[in-house]
Structure 1
Amino acid sequence: MDYYNKHQLYQKALDTKYDGRVIAKPSYLNPRAVILHWCSECDTEFYGRPSKMLGKDHERHNCFMPYGDSRGHQFLSISTANNSRKKKKKDEVTSERFYEMVINDYTPQEISKALDIALPLVKDYFKTEGLL
């Protein structure tokens, strides 16, 4: 069976489960491959494994809920339980802080180091504004 037929069968299964709301963007490869999907009801693109999209109820797509990342790991709810484990940044990057540093004649290297953002990104901003 070729990939086109497999994709058609997978899309029919999605139509059955989701009443035609979810569309698989790229071609279906296998049940474990992470592929991009689009939901017409919540107008969201998300990644998911076909085996989970058609699997158990708690693994399926829920509209207006964060679903997953490019590796196929699912986010069924927004949780703050793990926030305490994450390393807190000293100085959160804000546009006000960035513009303040630009106005006060900081170099791109100083801004990049202080705000912990990529140097090419800062240099690109300086070039577009004609500061370099």
Structure 2
Amino acid sequence: MVILLPELEKFEQFERALHADRLGEILGELWRREVHLVMPKFSFTSGFDLKGMLCKLGMPAAFSEEADFSGMDGTHDLWIDDVYHKAFIKVDEQGTEAAAATGNVMVPAAPIPVWIDHPFILLIRDRETGVILFLGRVLNPEK
């Protein structure tokens, strides 16, 4: 998990300027360092209907009787009714401890204290590929 913690009063400005190239620059400048992390527990769920988006991207036939999924069941009377994406993220003591246990690399200096007590952006990347799996923001970490 990567946490981007902008200066207290500059979150909106930071978020507006955070495009794909800038995020790539930030991620390219990261290094491993042991920290003493203090952050609130949080969880959130997000979901949205993909049917409209997929139709606009050129897949409308998949959602109608014109669909041809005969390779799946041998008939032509099969089509997609809806596609829904749902994501859930939970960060608590166990999650933080696991990240700290696997994220420690030989570091001679004392841990830096990091207090996450104002709005931040978080992302979760695949360790091998670097692909961003989740990207979100926490606007009120006190709640």
Higher strand share: 2
Q: Which structure has more RCO (C-alpha within 8 Å, separation ≥ 6)?
A: 2
TM-score past 0.5 threshold: no
TM-score, normalised via structure 1 length: 0.18
TM-score, normalised via structure 2 length: 0.17
Max radius of gyration: which structure? 1
